[in-house]
């Protein structure tokens, strides 16, 4: 008879736990049978040994009980109480396959449900060639629609030429202007979308085929917005509705409530959210802001987003949004918290930065018999070692006297670079591997190594499928481009073998 294991968990993790266990196969493949029980807590990590003893009346036919890795308390006492082994599983639910000796399945980040409109805010001042070049960069980062932004009191004589050039290159195009004449010109030139129409300018939608993006004529007036939506619905016209996201701390919460109310009143409506008022106008790293906003959009089934990249701290906004939309789609699809899907938005820190403790590194250092230097990082600091000894510090300058490299400039330069990287990793809480650059997720240079840190497809996007309630928007992604090979170190640079991989 195969072993029967009882898994204890919380309400939030129950569906995902059952999926992971089912993915291990039947009892012939998994090597065990299983049951899952929820002990009346939302979050599995809040479970304690005392709680288990009070709430678990019996273990049924289980041969073993497995509790979440972060469960606190005396499991030996529980073993005695239930008469069968009670053990901790891994800290992260998605690591269960590895816990049972299986390779963890890579998350599917090829799908998403949000169309990205990327705005060219200075389009009237840009040449057609410059517009095409910026559109290509936006598309490479994940944009689906190129938004041509007009400027107040600024002539745009090449608007039509710009729209037609972008369409000829295969892009979906929107025209974004406060000037009704520019909106008409853009629509007649073939723009796919017009931003933005109100109840006072709604008649423009009758003159062109472009899909209008609707906003309230008076800020915050949801009734006015809904009235415009219903007029177009009566005519059978598609639209996107935008209640307008306000900046922090000037109405942001109220504007989120408007999006929520609009979804309640119009369950099937196509909605757009413009994120720049928050990302651009907040001095905070934009990746976290985009993760939060895309999570809200996933909850409210908002399938279109308008973004800008004006402020230097928002220069990777499209890449971040592309990563966030994929992660939130995967989390929602899996009925899981948005964890363990991607590191693309963890630019400054990582959840498991130090795979080895100081004692582990000391043991490895004791086995080294050659003069080549190894560099590793633990919570205790930066460690550098070879056969002549192990030295640890938080400041690389403290390590210099122990290296004895005064006569070897090349090797000293190499170790200087590596120790600087290691110090940054230690200070921030990032993973460090010798001879490798630090990973910055979507905030670093554009890279498309794999889907785990994918920041956008590597080739120009063609227009996505229509944004329809019940569909999934763009569920495809172009192949990721291969990153260039790193130039080899000069012969002296290899101080030794790379740090051990976790």
Question: pLDDT at position 121, please?
Answer: 94
At residue 340, does pLDDT exceed 70?
yes
Contact between 109 and 322 under an 8 Å Cβ cutoff? The reply is no
pLDDT at 97: 83
Angle 308-310-247 from CA coordinates, rounded to 5°: 65
**pLDDT of amino acid 369:** 87
Residue with more model confidence, 404 or 96 = 404
pLDDT at 356 > cutoff 90: no
Give the C-alpha separation, 220 to 406, whole Å.
68
Q: Are 303 and 293 in contact (CB under 8 A)?
A: no
- What are the structural domains, with CATH classification, of the chain? 3-99 (3.40.50), 115-334 (3.20.20.20), 358-430 (no CATH)
User: Does 281 score more than 80 pLDDT?
Assistant: yes
| pLDDT > 70: percent of the chain | 87
Least confident of 67-71, 212-216, 264-268, 465-469: 465-469
CA distance 208 to 228: 17
- Helix, strand or coil, per DSSP, at residue 327: helix
448-453 contact pairs (CB < 8 A, 24+): 448/480, 448/481, 448/482, 448/483, 449/480, 449/483, 450/480, 451/106, 451/107, 451/108, 451/109, 451/110, 451/342, 451/480, 452/106, 452/107, 452/109, 452/342, 452/343, 452/344, 453/342, 453/343, 453/344
pLDDT-derived band at 485 (thresholds 50, 70, 90) equals very low
Average pLDDT over residues 53-77: 92
User: What number of H helices and E strands is found in the chain?
Assistant: 16, 15
Mean pLDDT of 145-171: 97
Report the 3 state secondary structure along 354-400. CCCCHHHHHHHHHCCCCCCCEEEEECCEEEEEECCEEEEECCHHHHH
Q: Which of 83-97, 214-228, 431-445 has the highest mean pLDDT?
A: 214-228
The arithmetic mean of pLDDT across residues 368-385, rounded, is: 94
Contact assessment for residue 456 and residue 474, using Cβ atoms and an 8 Å cutoff: no
Full 3-state SS string of 129-193: HHHHHHHHHHHHHCCCEEEEECCCCCCCCCHHHHHHHHHHCCCEEEEECCCHHHHHHHHHHCCCE
| Residue 495 main-chain phi, psi, to 5 deg | -75, -10
Confidence label for 450 from pLDDT (cuts 50, 70 and 90): very low
**Where do we find the tokens 């062109």?**
208
Joined together, the tokens standing for residue 468 give 């329809």
Residue 306 near residue 119, CB atoms below 8 Å: yes
Task: Identify the pLDDT of residue 96.
Answer: 84
- Nearest Cα neighbor of 151 from 128, 176, 132, 131 is 176
Q: Which residue would you say has higher pLDDT here, 467 or 90? A: 90
Of the candidates 316, 307, 318, the residue with the CA atom closest to the CA atom of residue 274? 307
Helix (H) / strand (E) containing 321? helix 317-334
Q: pLDDT band at 135, cuts 50/70/90?
A: very high
Supply the pLDDT for residue 214: 98
pLDDT band with cut points at 50, 70 and 90 for residue 496: very low
| 178 or 485, greater pLDDT | 178
Query: 80-84, 407-411, 448-452, 474-478: lowest mean pLDDT where?
Result: 474-478
- Residue 340 region by backbone torsions, left for phi larger than 0, else alpha for psi between -120 and 50, else beta: left
Angular region, 220: left φ>0, alpha ψ -120 to 50, beta rest: left
Rounded CA-CA distance 353/377 in Å is: 9
Q: Kindly tell me if the per-residue pLDDT of 469 is higher than 50.
A: no
Question: Which of the four pLDDT bands, split at 50, 70 and 90, describes residue 498?
Answer: very low
The pLDDT assigned to 95 comes to 78
d(CA 276, CA 279): 5
**pLDDT score recorded for residue 234:** 97
Lowest mean pLDDT among 13-17, 59-63, 446-450: 446-450
Q: What is the pLDDT of residue 28?
A: 57
Average pLDDT, the chain: 86
pLDDT reported for residue 138: 97
Which strand (E) or helix (H) includes residue 96? helix 96-99
Q: Record the pTM.
A: 0.75
Provide, rounded to the nearest whole percent, the portion of the chain with pLDDT above 90.
70
Q: Which of 292-296, 299-303, 429-433, 460-464 has the least mean pLDDT? A: 460-464
pLDDT bucket at 206, cuts 50 / 70 / 90: very high
Residue 488 reports pLDDT greater than 50 = no
- What does the DSSP assignment read for 407-451? T-HHHHHHHHHHHHHHHHHHHHT----TTSPPP-GGGSS---S-G
CB atoms inside a 10 Å sphere around CB 57: 6
Candidates 106, 96, 26; CA nearest to 68 is 96
| C-alpha span between 245 and 303 (Å, rounded) | 15
């Amino acid at each position: 008879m195969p072993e029967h294991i009882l898994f204890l968990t919380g309400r939030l993790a129950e569906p995902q736990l059952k999926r992971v266990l089912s993915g291990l196969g039947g009892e012939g493949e998994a090597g065990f049978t299983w049951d899952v029980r929820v002990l009346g807590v939302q979050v599995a990590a809040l479970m304690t040994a005392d709680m288990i003893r009070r709430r678990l009346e019996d273990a049924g036919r289980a041969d073993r009980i497995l509790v979440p890795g972060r469960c606190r308390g005396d499991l030996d006492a529980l073993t005695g109480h239930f008469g069968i082994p009670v053990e901790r599983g891994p800290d992260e639910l998605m690591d269960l396959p590895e816990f049972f000796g299986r390779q963890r399945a890579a998350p599917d980040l090829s799908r998403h449900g949000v169309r990205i409109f990327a705005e060219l805010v200075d389009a009237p001042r840009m040449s057609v060639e410059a517009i095409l070049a910026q559109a290509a960069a936006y598309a490479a980062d994940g944009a689906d629609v190129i938004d041509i932004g007009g400027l107040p009191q600024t002539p745009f004589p090449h608007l039509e030429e710009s729209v037609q050039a972008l369409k000829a290159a295969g892009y979906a195009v929107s025209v974004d202007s406060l000037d009704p004449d520019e909106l008409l010109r853009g629509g007649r030139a073939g723009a796919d979308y017009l931003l933005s129409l109100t109840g006072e300018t709604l008649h423009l939608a009758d003159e062109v085929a472009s899909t209008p993006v609707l906003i309230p004529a008076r800020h915050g007036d949801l009734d006015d917005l809904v009235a415009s939506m219903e007029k177009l619905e009566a005519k059978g016209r598609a639209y996107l509705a935008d209640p307008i996201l306000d900046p922090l701390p000037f109405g942001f919460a109220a504007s989120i409530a408007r999006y929520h109310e609009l979804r309640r009143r119009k369950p099937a409506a196509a909605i757009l959210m413009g994120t720049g008022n928050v990302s651009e106008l907040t001095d905070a790293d934009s990746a976290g802001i985009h993760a939060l906003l895309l999570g809200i959009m996933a909850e409210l089934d908002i399938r279109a987003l308008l973004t800008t990249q004006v402020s230097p701290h928002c220069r990777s906004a499209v890449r971040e949004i592309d990563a966030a939309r994929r992660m939130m789609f995967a989390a929602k699809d899996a009925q899981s918290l948005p964890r363990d899907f991607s590191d693309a938005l963890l630019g400054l820190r990582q959840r498991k930065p130090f795979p080895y403790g100081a004692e582990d590194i000391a043991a490895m250092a004791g086995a080294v018999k050659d003069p080549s230097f190894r560099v590793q990082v633990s919570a205790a600091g930066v460690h550098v070692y070879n056969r002549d000894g192990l030295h640890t510090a938080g400041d690389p300058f403290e390590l210099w006297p122990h290296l004895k490299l005064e006569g070897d400039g090349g090797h000293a330069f190499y170790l200087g670079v590596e120790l600087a990287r290691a110090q940054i990793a230690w200070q921030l809480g990032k993973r460090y591997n010798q001879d490798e650059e630090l990973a910055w997720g979507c905030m670093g240079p554009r890279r498309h190594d794999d889907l785990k840190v994918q920041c956008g497809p590597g080739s120009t996007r063609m227009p996505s499928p229509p944004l329809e309630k019940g569909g999934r928007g763009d569920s495809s992604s172009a192949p990721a481009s291969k990153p260039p090979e790193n130039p080899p170190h000069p012969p002296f640079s290899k101080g030794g073998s790379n740090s051990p991989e976790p």
